[in-house]
Amino acid sequence: MSSCHHNHHNMDINGCDAKISDTHLPKKPKLSPTLISDTELESEFSHHVQNIARINNGSFGCCPKSVMSAQQKWQLEFLKQPDDFYFNRLKEGILQSRLVIKDLVNADHVDEISIVDNATTAAAIVLQSVAWDFIQGKFNKGDAAVMLHYAYGAVKKSVEAYVTRAGGYVIEVELPFPVNSVSEIISEFRRALERGKVNGRKVRLAVIDHVTSMPSVVIPVKELVKICREEGVDKVFVDAAHGIGCVDVDMKEIGADFYTSNLHKWFFCPPAAAFLYCRKSSEIDDLHHPVVSHEYGNGLAIESAWIGTRDYSAQLVIPKVLEFVNRFEGGIEGIKKRNHKVVVEMGEMLAKAWGTHLGSPPEMCSSMIMVGLPASLGISSDSVALKLRTHLRNSFSVEVPIYYRAPGDGVVNPVTGYARISHQVYNKPDDYYRFRDAINQLVNDKFTCELLS
Amino acid sequence: MDTNGADTKISNTYLPEKPELSPTLISDTELLSEFSHHVQNIARINNGSFGCCPKSVISAQQRWQLEFLKQPDDFYFNRLKDEILKSRLVIRDLSVAWEFLQGKFNKGDAAVMLQYAYGAVKKSLEAYVTRAGGYVIEARFPFPVNSDSEIVSEFRKAVERGKINGRKVRLAIIDHVTSIPCVLIPVKELIKICREEGVDKVFVDGAQGIGCVDVDMKEIGADFYTGTLNKWVFCPPGAAFLYCRKSNEIDDLHHLVVSHEYGNGLAIESAWIGTRDYSAQLVVPQALEFVNRFEGGIEGIKKRNHKAVVEMGEMLAKAWGTHLGSAPEMCSSMIMVGLPASLGISSDSIALKLSTHLRNNFSVDVRIYYREPGDGVVNPVTGYARISHHAYNKPDEYHKFRDAVNQLVNDKFTCALLA
């Protein structure tokens, strides 16, 4: 991992407190000598409602008890004597968290790491700055922004609210699903960029998911970023809501201008914390937190560390989270590998049991995988998929999101529904057997979704 | 659903039971216990900065946090929206940039704010209004201030400046209670002036609002009003409300963090801005229950705070031979008290250093304000302390502050001595 080599002794424009980051390098927590035992693990997640097959870590993540306790300690520290906390502790605490993240993601400098609530907020920050560029004439009206068709719904709305509203032209990259190889994605992406450059337009921004949400597929971001550079795309923003703990997250490897990942999904933080990485460049990125407070103009990382009185504890607890992660064999890498291995196994088990198929090859999935549901269930629309999800929760105690995929023309008895199963350290094989059996029962009972009100 | 996202059907059927004033009022012992997490032996006379949160509300908040973590999908789909609605109903019962950029306003049209508007809000105006081409005017008024009329006349002048050369005044931002120096602003009168002078919209910043001053949306008549809930109403950090008066025009207000509910009205947008901890917002009904354990509920707390802070302010001013920064009727649950001139408070940063010195050496938490002396004034008072009073405060804390300053004066301390 790199450390801060720069030795500026001034505050640079991006708010880098270079002197502090050299002397305050956090002790890299060693992998714990005694690994977490099964009993301890169960206890850490004993607050999860029991007897539920909670196979949806991808939606809201999870938080172990020891991290919750650490968070409550931070919350109490503030309430005990807030003035002292604000003046003497908060900034340093946030800096420590940023240093932890910098090391985890192989960023060059801690200035490049800002902590925000969630990926949705990070998207608003990047997109708002694009809006200003359009409005202030730096970009021409009609210049393009490219995003994936399977971009997250909230991010699509953010693109509409900021880019379209400011005069940008939005292009969606259609991706096939099920998908069989990365080359399918790469060629569609190239086509979309070409559309973006028609009539002398420039492509000002590409928004690329690292792992799409629904349907969930690992996108070859490194290759797509390279294509963006070849084709002269101004800026690339990688939305890795499912990032740290789910896929390999290496800022220098990936080479994006902006990269965001949630920490409460796959990195055990309490709700909610995420980081936004902004690659240092010779241009000044005029990124601001949309909630403007005293630190306006001091760089995004510093701005984000104070956006008014609120609870910063989820951001302050990050070093403690790293300690938790390091109680597992191989730390976050080990957790990630094991999650991937098991979710593929379970996915294949389910596909076999139901006579269906996976939504993507195993190498294109992370700690989540899409599994086709039997066509006889008759999943016929997005809202029906949601109703089936509710039915599975209420009648079978299975928590899993369902994706509806409109059938291609002329396909006989198509699979129109896919379950997105997740695996995290608290999951057990039984969770997936319960899901398998629930679906088998529905099929045996000749259940169709028409029966759902 | 109307355009502002009002779920009018729900609000009629889901009226929360208005919590009755508790039959047994909170006892002194219970009150001490509720705030026993506050560091002891500190004169914590700065509720105005960060507020406070009693133990029973902290517990309620932790219960909400756990509810989410236990089974988040169920919480998100089945509980969150209804519970946020309940919080909004409790509040109901108790109170620019795109327009410039899209040509609805002309570049150079004005926004008017007070000279003593909160620093962060001033930066927000710069980031959004100035950057988009608006012209920002500050309404200056004197401090110390002696009467409402001083503020009213200066404000009128500022609005008139805003209309020079055919400009329109698109927005007036008015603090309900300025932060530092702390003065209660006659918002109702200022809004009347705004209406008379054709100001498009009025936004009242009531950061020190509910629980500190009378907050009645219809009385005040603003288009937008915001009030924090974690300062004076015992919510944990950070929750606040934004009131947007219904009007025939559609106010195109959006939460800046855009998520799934974009376009469904600000209230609905704000109830989901991505995965985060909503517990401080969900706990509002429990905070109101706590409030109602006091005699007279929020009204009683407010009146007693005001009475006590004025008494303590006058006691300090007398002990130090100084004066109050405003007439008592122009203060809320906070008051500005002049500090002895001999301390030599000479700048904003010196004022901050003195505040740190008081915390570290005398265990007093209080905000200090630096006021530049007028020309030719002999031995002027250049520093004012902003003291707050809330339910947990005791007279001893103000005595401690009095004695600390007296000691500094006796020791011939001046701020030049601070590093």
Interface membership of B42 toward A (CB under 8 Å): yes
**DSSP secondary structure code for residue A218 in this structure:** B
The answer to whether the bond into A178 is cis (omega within 30° of 0) is: yes
B68 three-state secondary structure: helix
pLDDT of amino acid A11: 37
Query: What distance in Å separates residue A4's CA from the closest CA in chain B?
Result: 31
d(CA B10, CA A138): 46
Cα(A295)–Cα(A313) distance, integer angstroms: 19
Residue with tokens 């509980």: B79
Residues B386/B334, Cβ–Cβ less than 8 Å: yes
Q: Which helix (H) or strand (E) holds B368?
A: strand B367-370
Domain ranges of chain B: 95-284, 297-418
pLDDT tens-place string over residues A197-233: 988 899 999 999 999 999 999 999 999 999 999 999 9
Tokens of B21: 């004033």
Rounded to whole angstroms, the Cα distance separating B258 from A153 reads: 10
Contact A399 B260 (CB under 8 A): no
* Test the A interface: residue of B264, B276, B388 with most A CBs within 10 Å: B276
Contacts of B42 in chain A (CB under 8 A): 81
Q: Is B87 on the interface with A (CB under 8 A)?
A: no
Contact with chain A for residue B348, Cβ under 8 A = no
> Inter-chain contact B259–A310, Cβ cutoff 8 Å?
no
Search chain A and give the residue with CA nearest B52: A79
CA distance A307 to chain B (A): 9
Would the CB atoms of B73 and A393 count as touching at under 8 Å?
A: yes
d(CA B69, CA A45): 10
- Within 8 A of A88 by CB-CB distance, chain B residues are none
Tokens 């996108």, residue? A219
Where does the pLDDT of residue A22 fall: very low under 50, low under 70, confident under 90, or very high at 90 and above?
very low
Q: Which residues of chain B have pLDDT under 70?
A: 1-23, 93-97, 248-251, 419
Contacts of A119 in chain B (CB under 8 A): 274
Q: Does B253 touch chain A (CB under 8 A)?
A: no
Query: Which element (helix H / strand E) includes A113?
Result: strand A113-116
Closest CA to B238 of B10, B51, B34: B51
Phi, psi dihedrals of residue B146, rounded to the nearest 5°: -105, -25
Report the pLDDT value the prediction gives residue A5, as an integer from 0 to 100.
41
d(CA B401, CA B389): 13
Nearest to B254 among A161, A291, A390 (CB): A161
Instruction: Please give, rounded to a whole number of angstroms, the shortest distance from the CA of B159 to a CA of chain A.
Output: 25
User: CB neighbours (10 Å) of residue A430?
Assistant: 9
Per-domain residue ranges of chain A: 86-326, 331-451
Summarize the confidence of residues A134-152 as an average pLDDT.
93
Chain A contact set for B132 (CB, 8 A): 135
- Secondary structure class of B354 (helix, strand, coil): helix
Give the one of B68, B74, B98 whose C-beta lies nearest to A271's C-beta. Answer: B68
Check pLDDT > 60 for residue A7.
no
Q: Do A162 and B98 touch (CB under 8 A)?
A: no
In whole angstroms, what is the distance from residue B406 CA to residue B381 CA? 15
pLDDT of residue B137: 95
Q: Does the distance separating the beta carbons of A48 and B71 come in below 8 Å?
A: yes
Peptide bond preceding B181 in cis form (omega within 30 of 0): yes
- The pLDDT, as a whole number, for residue A410 is 75
Is B228 close to A79, i.e. CB distance below 8 A? no
- Of A15-29, A119-133, A274-288, A375-389, the poorest mean pLDDT is in A15-29
Which residues are B335's β-sheet partners? Answer: B387
Q: Which of B69, B76, B98 sits opposite A47 (nearest CB)?
A: B69
This complex has an ipTM of 0.88
Neighbours of A453 (CB within 10 A): 5
* B69 interfaces chain A, CB cutoff of 8 Å: yes
Which chain B residues contact residue A78 at CB under 8 A? Answer: 50, 237
How many Å apart are CA B297 and CA B303, to the nearest integer?
Answer: 10
Write out residues 351-370 of B within 8 Å (CB-CB) of A. Answer: 356, 359, 365
- A264 DSSP assignment: T
Sign of CA dihedral B241, B247, B248, B249: negative
Helix (H) or strand (E) holding A386: helix A382-396
* Residue of A152, A419, A164 whose CA lies nearest to B260: A152
Contact A154 B42 (CB under 8 A): no
Confidence check: pLDDT of A47 > 70: yes
Q: What are the backbone dihedrals phi and psi of residue B367, each rounded to the nearest 5 degrees, phi first?
A: -90, 140
Measured between beta carbons, which residues in chain B are less than 8 angstroms from residue A308?
120, 238
Q: Which residue in this structure is represented by tokens 């800002």? A: A114
Do residue B257 and residue A62 have CB atoms under 8 angstroms apart?
no
A196/chain B closest Cα distance in angstroms:
24
- In this predicted structure, what is the pLDDT of residue A354? 98
Backbone angles phi, psi at B61, to 5 degrees: -65, -40
Residue A376 — φ and ψ, nearest 5°? -65, -20
Which of B207, B181, B175, B208 lies closest to B351 in space, CA to CA?
B181
Q: Give A265's contacts in chain B (Cβ within 8 Å).
A: 275
Q: Is B46 on the interface with A (CB under 8 A)?
A: yes
- Residue contacts between A and B (CB atoms, under 8 Å): 169
Q: What SS3 state is found at B387?
A: strand
Q: What is the b/e burial string over A291-325, where b = at least 16 CB atoms within 10 angstroms of the residue's CB? A: bbbbbbeebbbbbbbbbebbbbbbbbbbbbbbebb
How far is residue A159 from each of residues A171, B189, B258, B262, measured CA to CA in Å?
11, 42, 9, 11
A251-277 per-position pLDDT tens digit: 999 999 999 999 999 999 999 899 999
DSSP A189-240: HHHHHHHHTGGG--EEEEEEESB-SSS--B--HHHHHHHHHHTT-SEEEEEE
**Alpha-carbon gap, residue B400 to B390, rounded angstroms:** 17
Beta carbons of A56 and B127 less than 8 Å apart: no
Taken in order B78, B79, B83, B84, the sign of the CA dihedral is negative
How buried is B139 (Cβ within 10 angstroms: 0-12 exposed, 13-18 middle, 19+ buried)?
A: buried
Assign domain A86-326 to its CATH architecture.
3-Layer(aba) Sandwich (3.40)
For domain B297-418, the CATH superfamily is: Aspartate Aminotransferase, domain 1 (3.90.1150.10)
Beta bridge partners of A17: none
- Given a contact cutoff of 8 angstroms between Cβ atoms, the answer to whether B186 and B176 are in contact is no
Q: Does B52 lie at the interface with A, CB-CB under 8 angstroms?
A: yes
CB A392, CB A400: distance < 8 Å: yes
CA dihedral of residues A285, B238, A61, A361 (deg, nearest 10): -30
Retrieve residue B224's tokens. Answer: 């937008």
Range A12-30 average pLDDT: 44
Q: In chain B, what residues touch A288 (CB-CB under 8 Å)?
A: 127
Please name the fold of domain B95-284: Aspartate Aminotransferase; domain 2 (3.40.640)
Beta strands A274-278 and A113-116 are antiparallel
pLDDT for the residue A25: 47
CATH assignment of A331-451, among 1.10.287.70, 3.10.20.600, 3.90.1150.10, 3.40.50.300:
3.90.1150.10
Q: Residue A290: closest CA among chain B residues belongs to which residue?
A: B256
Say yes or no to pLDDT of A426 above 80: yes
